[in-house]
Structure 1
């Protein structure tokens, strides 16, 4: 075969591949265009997209302008961070209102920040409203096909098995003592730091210590006395989160947010190491699940029992179920709670009067003793502080959904394939819902509960919406109460000069440079 013949074949192959890619892209683009037209016909407008990348170039331009025009005021704690982290959503909301549509390449999105429509999402129990597939695909190394990532009947099956283990009665019965016990080393560490630094005051970065605490709680809850292996898993999961967060989760366009091969290999290696560690633990615990054991069972034991007793799961499927959902519990129960606790302490460091109120309540309710299952439920002031902190700094920035089939929400028909986004911090700062003081830290707004805190209670969604509401919310609230009760009963604190206010979006909204506080014994 001569060179000209080979060249002709090569050209033909390249041409065929190009035609196929071009055809597929155009068909996907026209599908997105049909979705957009269906939304526009209902009066839902938005920025005009370009042919290939949709509104992505405009989003990047707005983001760049926000970075260059925002003054460096890290010493000033301004609670509204949406205009710096998500400036395109803020700008488009001003132009098109609380409901608008935009696209990223072949993905059509519907931005939903209207209280009535969020209420409809809260009441929706349809399995046709699931997690966006293009996002969950990127999270697969961290979450497997567990409850945070799965959709449809598989998700419903997992929820049926897992949800009962996080009901409030079980959290109080099993986990309160464990949480209090896990806080003791942290308190002693801070006391030692005060003694070592001056005997009067210590400058401490609290966010890493709080990660250690929440990791200890989940590791003990899942693994009982084998929590040292759980800590190793946490360390690797944190590295995996850092690697994955290099990708852009808001842009559904091929070629954007792709990682270098070296980083992809790192993700794959960490994924395998984590799964191997979990497999080892599952095998150790599996035999105990088959025995009629009368001793107290840890969380992994209880969930493993549920999986093994589910007749629809085979042996291999039940093990896969456990591995994937251990990853989910670790990430959601560890990282999000630690970040929420960090924001709580940052806000209280600015509010000594609320520290005093919490301290007085803890003394009255607990009477000098450590918190227990009964006293935790009576800490009303602590609850108000946590609710307000979660309003201003919800760890989850978005509620994200995809219409897996055409679905009706209120008077809006959502076409199949449309991705819905609700920006939680914007909803939590809407002056029409919360009043003119929406950007201020005022826990007293929750004195009569969420139902009286704002004009539309359905607009308060720190744990998500609908049937996919965070399963671990009871556990998170109890943990946060114990953290605040024990720390404030032992210490007073204020913000350190090292603190730089820089909320950062890394899968969740966390303090970009940590939380440094000046702490002293009472």
Structure 2
């Protein structure tokens, strides 16, 4: 009897040992051997880069470089005359000088090729193959924000979502939900709040504009997406904002295996917010009456219900793409508006040119679509703002299978990153004044502004270009037109020019303006 028990114990221990050894060999292969093989394949093609550390890759170097840059005192002129937003990525600048326009680095065990060659970027941006898709870490590490929505999905799922979202962002649908009225009313509300603030003084006051821009953008999305459930939409987007802020602190840790499963304080906060957001969105969907709403949420609901999906898949589709609409349209529009006001305040001659145009075109009326089309000067100002401070400073793709791009053989699983902020300020593309604010460069359109039109990509590129880019331009034009026609403004002496990378490039301490009512 005892002999049988002893034998069983030995067999069990042997099984455990084999399992542990097998797990160790698997992890060693995934975390050490495979990344090493990929880097060797890239080196043979002349693609070098900073040597990575096991498990962490180059994360420690990136963190050290960013910390050093933040501690280094800056002596920006006031107002700023040079706009190098790519400086928020000092490690990329250093590596580019050391290894050239094409180099490899690692975030954890995720292998990335930095691509800054215009011809390669053109091939990536114009390609139609679904084998070059969104990086898988979007669904894994950024799942609380993106889920499996249009910003993170690939293949047939992405194609279905894009089809539905194209309908959502068509001008026919946007007119049906009164989008122009929503934008105008939100902008007028902001103008009234500024006038109220200035009424207590001599008509001149100091305003930190960032929170107003976020309120304006959030108001539009809440009303457009949730219609009569507007107050609940505000609550949902408020929680999404909190979730985005927590996750922005983990941007360069996405490649560390298993980190998102650890019950750290930030992870627990992320899990709780994600659960609350999902529950709130589904509650709004269940409370609304069939066909009574004309908002973007209803388009998602109807599109999902006609796509032969299970109820669980429908719920997931709606929740994920509500989150995606927020991420794509809220923070980016708000921050772009803040940067635009900073640049106009720093360049009074352009502020006056844009104001004169708005006053002439609108003649005292609220701008409509025909008036917006006539605002050439303002359009140039906004295009230049998006060049210097692009909403998406980096664009990434993943090779979902072994593939060839240009002369490079890209192994499956390797990410390709393009630094938009670097492209937008490259003197070889934009000329020696690339770091200067010069809206006149867009006088003859994008093709006349630079040597390579494919190098201008504030809303992304290729098949995955932002569906809401035209809507974003309309938002910015209406808001800037109403501000210019009601106020003049200068930079406050308190303004400190410190762009910082969170989820996007933002003014670290806000944009302080001295505003005068006209």
Normalised TM-score (structure 2): 0.92
Change (3 A) 1:212 1:259: farther
Deviations 1:150-180 (A, max 9, x none): 1221111100111122135554664112100
Counterpart position of 2:183? 179
Aligned residue runs from structure 1 range 345-364, under 5 A: 345-364=341-360
Is the 2:96–2:103 Cα contact (8 Å) retained in structure 1?
Answer: yes
Is the 1:172–1:373 Cα contact (8 Å) retained in structure 2?
Answer: no
For the pair 1:27 / 2:23, whether they are aligned, the reply is no
SS in 1 for 2:252: coil
For the pair 1:308 / 2:305, whether they are aligned, the reply is yes
CA distance in structure 2 between the aligned counterparts of 1:21 and 1:505, rounded to whole angstroms: 38
CA drift at 1:74:
5.7
Change (3 A) 1:93 1:228: same
Is the 2:206–2:513 Cα contact (8 Å) retained in structure 1?
Answer: yes
CA distance in structure 2 between the aligned counterparts of 1:418 and 1:18, rounded to whole angstroms: 28
Is the 2:396–2:417 Cα contact (8 Å) retained in structure 1?
Answer: yes
CA distance in structure 1 between the aligned counterparts of 2:314 and 2:198, rounded to whole angstroms: 48
Is the 1:359–1:489 Cα contact (8 Å) retained in structure 2?
Answer: yes
Is the 2:122–2:454 Cα contact (8 Å) retained in structure 1?
Answer: yes
CA drift at 1:504:
1.7
Aligned residue runs from structure 1 range 191-206, under 5 A: 191-196=195-200, 198-206=201-209
SS in 2 for 1:249: helix
Counterpart position of 1:521? 517
Structure 1: runs of 5+ lacking an equivalent: none
Is the 1:388–1:443 Cα contact (8 Å) retained in structure 2?
Answer: yes
- Tell me which of 80, 83, 96 is aligned to 2:84: 80
Aligned residue runs from structure 1 range 51-450, under 5 A: 51-68=54-71, 70-73=72-75, 76=78, 77=80, 78-83=82-87, 85-168=88-171, 170-171=173-174, 174-196=178-200, 198-249=201-252, 252-254=255-257, 261-285=264-288, 287-289=289-291, 297-310=294-307, 312-450=308-446
CA distance in structure 2 between the aligned counterparts of 1:151 and 1:251, rounded to whole angstroms: 19
Deviations 1:324-382 (A, max 9, x none): 11111122111111011111111111011111111111122222100112212222111
Counterpart position of 2:456? 460
SS in 2 for 1:513: coil
CA distance in structure 2 between the aligned counterparts of 1:479 and 1:64, rounded to whole angstroms: 35
Structure 2: runs of 5+ lacking an equivalent: none
202-211 or 318-327, which deviates more: 318-327
Is the 2:186–2:219 Cα contact (8 Å) retained in structure 1?
Answer: yes
Counterpart position of 1:507? 503
Is the 1:120–1:410 Cα contact (8 Å) retained in structure 2?
Answer: yes
Change (3 A) 1:32 1:395: same
Change (3 A) 1:87 1:258: farther
RMSD: 2.6
135-144 or 460-469, which deviates more: 135-144
SS in 1 for 2:152: coil
Deviations 1:18-38 (A, max 9, x none): 644542332122212222222
419-428 or 501-510, which deviates more: 501-510
Counterpart position of 2:480? 484
325-334 or 160-169, which deviates more: 160-169
CA drift at 1:17:
7.2
Normalised TM-score (structure 1): 0.91
Is the 2:246–2:270 Cα contact (8 Å) retained in structure 1?
Answer: yes
CA distance in structure 1 between the aligned counterparts of 2:233 and 2:97, rounded to whole angstroms: 46
CA drift at 1:226:
2.2
Is the 1:247–1:259 Cα contact (8 Å) retained in structure 2?
Answer: no
Deviations 1:370-420 (A, max 9, x none): 011221222211111111000000121210111111222222222111011
Change (3 A) 1:91 1:239: same
CA distance in structure 1 between the aligned counterparts of 2:500 and 2:260, rounded to whole angstroms: 17
